């Protein structure tokens, strides 16, 4: 029997999980005992019973395989009875949530830095998901951080590495290791929710799609679903071989980083439908021929058309959106007579609402949408939902969207990201905005008049937990608004996000490009924040 080793260690004091776990550069994780400390802090915090089952996998980025071997040996030393690990160390974040729920595991560890770049000098991440399949709530992540600050030892078994590339059963000490098909359970779940026959007929009838996996985890999932189960031609897929460095790309499915796909959909002989997903498979971008659907509009359109999809024909309990996401979904919810919840950014806030059967669909403006089928956002789910709607309505992406705007009005929306700003400069912008709260209400700024401004806080209607400091809102009397928020998903400096939204019920204006329609609000945002003077940035890094 391999020996269980207790290794002395000293704390690192920078292991505070963000909205989606701990993310750092690969060289940081490769420091002596850095990963081991954090994994032991997870195990010390969750109090798993002896013999519990754990799910484990990641997005295939650099350091994924090495980290999995360490975690397997530590799980065995910490009394787990079984680990379900994806073959090749692969499990997309949605698939991991699916596996946790389907096999009723105690929880799961997901290795991913989501949409952040990979490679030897790129980013790596690790997070713990609870038995509902969703990200650990703040009380658990706070406990993990506290344990990481006090750690003095970790436990690991001295055993050979496990062969990960074939589906098989192994043991480490007394713990079973089941190397499972990372795709099958998830693909089966998708087939149970959507009308694959209708989508298959749509594709067989000449409807052309292009899916870009961005050399990230969803490549194998896309091949199984689109090629093997839906009969799409081989050229429907691009960049579907997962690579540890994502092909030197930035696996973030937006108009900037998925430029190759965007150029195809806006080029000559464009396919009818385009979509992309990110590093760990939970985000999505939806495109029509020469047409882009904002994530806010996408959530609203899925909500409005849910009864066209077999898995949602019984109706929706409600819908939820993150605070920076546009109010487009609110208008649909009002017409449907269902509740709409506004939460902080972070999928864990949706998990409570779904577990309490208060919502069925949810979404964030940061290219994430999902439903109560799992407890994570889900990129391929959103793509299949759109294809199901198109197959049922027999309309193009653009026609579906414009018809939606004609009925509900258009929430013109854009997000401007200023990435890798020095943290001190970003904090200066936020402090300046907060210091302006007392004088802003009632001010006329161009054609807009400020109604209220605040720093968004949220009281969870399920457990009454309170989250504060979730983003600065400047709301105008006509319902238009500007939101400023520091993102917690980067690993270098700070990312300042500026969200701009204006409601326009007039169909005569619905053809306008969002940047044109929002041009006055963009100028006002710059003036209010003094962003250029305080950060030196002339232009956003990314506009979506």
Cβ distance 133 to 100 under 8 Å? yes
DSSP-assigned states of every residue in 441-490: TT-EETTEEEEEEEE--EE-TTT--EE----EEEEETTS-EEEEEEESS-
| Structure tokens that stand for 248 in this block | 């030197």
pLDDT-derived band at 1 (thresholds 50, 70, 90) equals confident
Measure the CA–CA gap between 142 and 467, rounded to whole angstroms.
Answer: 13
Q: Does 186-408 match 4-182 at the fold level? A: yes
Mean pLDDT score of the chain, rounded to an integer? 95
Instruction: Please report the pLDDT score of residue 178 as a whole number.
Output: 98
User: Which residue is catalytic, options 114, 236, 366, 414?
Assistant: 114
Provide the residue count of the chain: 544
Report the alpha-carbon distance of residue 91 to residue 79 in Å, rounded. 23
The pLDDT assigned to 492 comes to 67
Instruction: Inform me whether the pLDDT recorded for 510 exceeds 60.
Output: yes
Out of 189-198, 427-436, 528-537, give the one with best mean pLDDT: 189-198
> Is the per-residue pLDDT at 173 higher than 80?
yes
Listed residue (57, 56, 61) closest to 80, CA to CA: 56
Q: Please say if the pLDDT value at position 30 is more than 90.
A: yes
Q: State residue 489's pLDDT score.
A: 55
Axis-axis angle for helices 295-304, 328-336 (nearest 10): 10
Note the pLDDT of residue 217. 98
- Please give the pLDDT value at position 114: 92
Helix, strand, coil content of the chain in percent (nearest 5):
35, 25, 40
Asked whether the predicted pLDDT for residue 406 surpasses 90, the reply is yes
Among 32-46, 416-430, 432-446, the range with the most confident prediction by mean pLDDT is 32-46
- Report yes or no: 221 and 380 within 8 Å, Cβ to Cβ: yes
Tokens standing for 322? Answer: 């993150």
Query: Residue 287 — pLDDT band, cuts 50, 70, 90?
Result: very high
Average pLDDT over residues 119-144: 95
Least confident residue range of 99-108, 384-393, 434-443: 434-443
SS3 at position 110: strand
> Which CATH topology does 410-543 take?
TATA-Binding Protein (3.30.310)
**Tell me: the pLDDT tens digits for 80-109?**
999 999 999 999 999 999 999 999 999 999
- Per the annotation, the verdict on 480 as an active-site residue is no
CATH 3.40.120.10 for domain 186-408: yes
Percent of the chain past pLDDT 70, that is, above it, reads 99
Per-residue tokens: 141: 């992540």
Average pLDDT in the 480-486 region? 94
Res 347: pLDDT:
86
Q: Which CATH architecture has domain 4-182?
A: 3-Layer(aba) Sandwich (3.40)
Q: List the chain domain ranges.
A: 4-182, 186-408, 410-543
Is the pLDDT reported for residue 226 higher than 70?
Answer: yes
Q: How much is the pLDDT for 493? A: 78
* Residue 28 · residue 12 · CB < 8 Å: no
Distance CA 490, CA 508 (A): 39
Report pLDDT digits (tens) over 488-498.
555 567 899 99
């Amino acid at each position: 029997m391999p020996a269980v080793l207790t290794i002395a260690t000293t704390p690192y004091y920078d292991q505070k999980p963000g909205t989606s776990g701990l993310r750092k550069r690969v060289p940081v994780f490769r420091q002596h005992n850095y990963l081991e400390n954090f994994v032991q802090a997870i195990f010390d915090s969750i109090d798993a019973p002896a013999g519990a089952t754990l799910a484990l996998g990641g997005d295939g980025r650099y350091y994924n395989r090495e980290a999995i071997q360490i975690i397997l040996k530590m799980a065995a030393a910490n009394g787990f009875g079984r680990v379900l690990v994806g073959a090749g160390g692969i499990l997309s974040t949605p698939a991991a949530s699916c596996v946790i729920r389907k096999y009723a595991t105690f929880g799961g560890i997901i290795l991913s830095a989501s949409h952040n770049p990979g490679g030897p000098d790129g980013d790596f991440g690790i997070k713990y998901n609870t038995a509902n399949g969703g990200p650990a709530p703040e009380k658990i992540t706070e406990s993990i951080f506290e344990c990481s600050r006090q750690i003095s030892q970790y436990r690991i078994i001295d055993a050979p590495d496990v062969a990960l590339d074939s589906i098989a059963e192994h043991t480490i000490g007394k713990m079973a290791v089941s190397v499972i098909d990372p795709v099958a359970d998830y693909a089966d779940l998708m087939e149970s929710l959507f009308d694959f026959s209708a989508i298959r007929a749509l594709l067989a009838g000449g409807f052309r799609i292009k899916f870009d996996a961005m050399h990230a985890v969803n490549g194998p999932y896309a091949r199984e679903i689109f090629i093997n189960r839906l009969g799409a031609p081989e050229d429907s897929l691009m960049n579907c071989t997962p690579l540890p460095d994502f092909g030197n790309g930035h696996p973030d499915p937006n108009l900037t980083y998925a430029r190759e796909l965007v150029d195809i959909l806006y080029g000559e002989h464009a396919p009818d439908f385009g979509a992309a997903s990110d590093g760990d498979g939970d985000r999505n971008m939806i495109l029509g021929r020469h047409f882009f659907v904002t994530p806010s509009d996408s959530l609203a359109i899925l909500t409005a058309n849910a009864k066209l999809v077999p898995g949602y024909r019984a109706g929706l309990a409600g819908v939820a959106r993150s605070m920076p996401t546009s109010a487009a979904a609110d208008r649909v919810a009002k017409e449907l007579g269902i509740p709409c919840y506004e939460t902080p950014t972070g999928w864990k806030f949706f998990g409570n609402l779904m577990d309490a059967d208060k919502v069925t669909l949810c979404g964030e403006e940061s290219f994430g949408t999902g439903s109560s089928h799992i407890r994570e956002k889900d990129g391929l789910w959103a793509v299949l939902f759109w294809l199901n709607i198109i197959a049922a309505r027999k309309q193009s992406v653009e026609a579906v969207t414009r018809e939606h705007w004609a009925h509900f009005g258009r929430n013109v929306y854009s997000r401007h990201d200023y990435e890798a700003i020095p943290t001190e400069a970003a904090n200066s912008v936020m402090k300046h905005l907060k210091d302006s709260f007392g004088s802003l209400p009632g001010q006329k700024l161009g054609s807009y008049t400020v109604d209220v401004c605040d720093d968004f806080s949220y009281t969870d209607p399920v457990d009454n937990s309170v989250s504060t400091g979730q983003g600065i809102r400047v709301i105008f009397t006509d319902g238009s608004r500007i939101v400023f928020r520091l993102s917690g998903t980067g690993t270098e400096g700070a990312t300042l996000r500026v969200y701009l939204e204006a409601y326009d019920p007039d169909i005569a204006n619905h053809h306008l490009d969002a940047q044109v329609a929002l041009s006055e609000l963009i100028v006002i945002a710059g003036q209010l924040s003094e962003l250029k003077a305080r950060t030196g940035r002339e232009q956003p890094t990314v506009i979506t």
